[in-house]
Structure formats: structure tokens, C-alpha cells
Amino acid sequence: QKEVEQNSGPLSVPEGAIASLNCTYSDRVSQSFFWYRQYSGKSPELIMSIYSNGDKEDGRFTAQLNKASQYVSLLIRDSQPSDSATYLCAVTGGGNKLTFGTGTQLKVEL
């Protein structure tokens, strides 16, 4: 079992819709959770971080964390073509190592 699992996609949503990206992790002592966006050929860039159970909203993005279920998700409201990218879920455990999933490719269609 991989430490951080994501559906590789592609996930296709129409412009203006809500995109829902999911991630599960195996290490129960994980403490910090991140969503990175990576455009093709570019480096990952942080878009959301979440540290406690519940929802965290930042503009069109909402991160949701459920430590009991070992599940973290990212919702993107009013999806735009510019949101088309690969979204990487990352998790830190007690040792501060940041472990990434394989990423979910999102395609926002006109």
C-alpha cells in the first residue's frame, strides 16, 4: 500500500463546475497536509495547507481533512480552464518528511 494514494485521472469537469480531488494516506501520525498544483513542465506550487480536522477555505479552493478516515480532499469551485493541471497531495509525518501522491490530472473543459 502506498503511503499517499490518489486517483491518477484524468478528471474532466466542465468550466464553472466544482472539481473534487481526493487523497488517502496510510500513516496515522501524519500531521500536516498539503495540496500542490503542477502545470506540465513546471515545478509544484503550494495552493493549500491544512493541519486540523474540518474545512479550510481560500478563495475558490476548499481543503477538507478527516484524520479518523485518513482522508483529505480539495474542492475547486467555479473551475476555470487555467485550473487544468496535476494536483499533488502531500503529507508529513512525525519526521517532517513530505511524502507525495502520484497526482490527479484535472482537465477543465470549455
35 binds another protein (CB under 8 A): no
45 binds another protein (CB under 8 A): yes
Give the residue with the Cβ less far from another protein, 40 or 82.
40
Residues whose CB falls within 8 Å of the CB of residue 42, separated by 6 or more in sequence, listed in order: none
18 binds another protein (CB under 8 A): no
Give the residue with the Cβ less far from another protein, 2 or 78.
2
99 binds another protein (CB under 8 A): yes
Max Cα separation, the chain?
A: 43
> Which residues are at the interface with another protein (CB under 8 A)?
4, 6, 8, 31-32, 34, 42-46, 49, 51, 88, 90, 92, 94-103
